[in-house]
Amino acid sequence: MTLKVNPVLELTFSSFTPAVNSAQQQAYLSHLEHGGILFLPNLGFEFAADETRFLSPDWSDGKSKNIYLSGNERHIKGAKGNVEELTAMSALIERYSQNATALIAHLLPSYMLHAKPANTSLRCVEAAGRKSSWRKDDRRLHADAFPSKPTHGERILRVFTNVNPHNKPRVWNVGEPFTDMAAKFLPKVPKYRAAQAKWLKLLGITKTLRGEYDHIMLHLHDLTKADTDYQANAPQLRFEFPANSTWVVYSDLVLHAVLSGQHMMEQTFHLPQEKLSFPAVCPKYIIEHIAKRHINC
């Protein structure tokens, strides 16, 4: 079954610092917060000649699926190499981070006061054949929620750029609206238990205490991924992001699955939901509206 509304809004800009007027900024913000994707088909990210060597899965340390600079520390993780190589890799990923941040500053300047940059990654492993547990399998439709990283209601905004050097698209399925998914799966989410959340924190399974919001988001993530009937039959739209294109999305709101693609860069931002322009379409409000009660973060 396909989607009723095309969630993709195409923008022709070819620079990470596009000139955008305030009416356009408002339109982009509204589109994103309502579960749309901003797609920039003409916006690629340039590698210097001596950086193209990093477009290979061989730099992975074999433990992590991505090479990344983590939130505040900016240490490179998931990679192997000598000091020169790791320094050059870090510089490349950091430059992508600066470009992605400039893009948000130009498309959505009102976010800049509140957006907290989180991880920046380089993903050179082919997505189609990647081996992982069903829970980590991003080839299944899901809205992002991470077991060890509660967001406490903060939103997950991501900028992606396909940096494939062989013109290969990154292929996604985009799922039905979050409201429709939540209406189906919320009744199956087990009751939140504060004592269990304390144990998870004590054991180091979560970095901070998982509140009820993160409990529900994680269960929705797991329930959708585990449901083979949902995966096969839920409304979804296949979309190809060509090489040298960029897209921006609230990945905690938009159901997505990666079908194939290799070589992508990505920057995550966290935004406090109370700073968004349309709080009524945040996952928290949608969940509260369906559950008919307040949810703590």
Beta strands in the chain (DSSP E): 8-10, 37-40, 67-69, 76-77, 116-123, 155-162, 170-175, 236-241, 246-250, 256-260, 264-271
Does 214 bind Fe ion (CB under 5 A)? Our answer is no
Q: Is residue 251 close enough to count as binding ligand SIN by CB under 6 A?
A: yes
Which one of Fe ion, ligand SIN, none interacts with residue 263, CB within 5 to 8 A by kind? none
Whole-angstrom distance, CA of residue 107 vs CA of residue 104: 5
To ligand SIN, the closest distance from the beta carbon of 144 in angstroms equals 5
Q: Which long-range contacts (CB under 8 A, 24 or more apart) does 273-280 make?
A: 273/153, 273/154, 273/155, 275/111, 275/113, 275/114, 276/33, 276/155, 277/29, 277/30, 277/33, 277/110, 278/30, 278/33, 278/34
Assess contact for 123 and 263: CB atoms under 8 A.
yes
Residue 252 contacts ligand SIN per CB under 6 A: no
Selected from 155, 170, 210, 284, the binder of ligand SIN by CB under 6 A is 170
Among Fe ion, ligand SIN, none, the one that 258 touches (CB under a kind-dependent 5 to 8 A) is ligand SIN
Q: Which residues contact 293 (CB under 8 A, 6 or more apart)?
A: none
Closer of 143 and 182 to ligand SIN (Cβ)? 143
Choosing from 144, 154, 252, 266, the residue that interacts with Fe ion (CB under 5 A) is: 144
Q: In what order do the strands lie in the sheet with 76-77?
A: 8-10, 37-40, 246-250, 155-162, 264-271, 116-123, 67-69, 76-77
CB nearer to ligand SIN: pick between 256 and 284 = 256
The residue among 144 and 154 lying less far from Fe ion, judged by its C-beta, is: 144
Distance from the Cα of residue 161 to its chain's centroid: 12
Binding span for Fe ion by CB under 5 A among 68-76, 114-122, 137-145, 176-184: 137-145
Amino acid 75 reads: H
| Residue 18 C-beta: closest distance to ligand SIN, Å | 23
Per CB under 5 A, the segment of 1-9, 94-102, 138-146, 157-165 that binds Fe ion is 138-146
Residue 252 engages Fe ion in binding (rule: CB under 5 A): no
138 forms part of the interface with ligand SIN (CB under 6 A):
yes
In degrees and rounded to multiples of 5, residue 39 shows phi and psi of -115, 120
Judged by CB under 6 A, does residue 240 bind ligand SIN?
no
In the complex with ligand SIN, which residue's Cβ is closer, 263 or 284?
A: 263
Binding part of the chain for Fe ion, among 50-58, 140-148, 171-179, 205-213 by CB under 5 A, reads 140-148
Interaction between residue 162 and ligand SIN (CB under 6 A): no
CB contact at 8 A, 39 and 247: yes
Q: CA nearest 241: which of 221, 252, 230, 256?
A: 256
What would the two tokens of residue 104 be?
Answer: 């948000």
- Residues of this chain, 38-97, that bind ligand SIN according to CB under 6 A: none
State the nearest-atom distance from the C-beta of 142 to Fe ion, in Å: 6
Residue ranges binding Fe ion (CB under 5 A): 144
Residue ranges binding ligand SIN (CB under 6 A): 127, 138, 144, 170, 251, 256, 258, 264
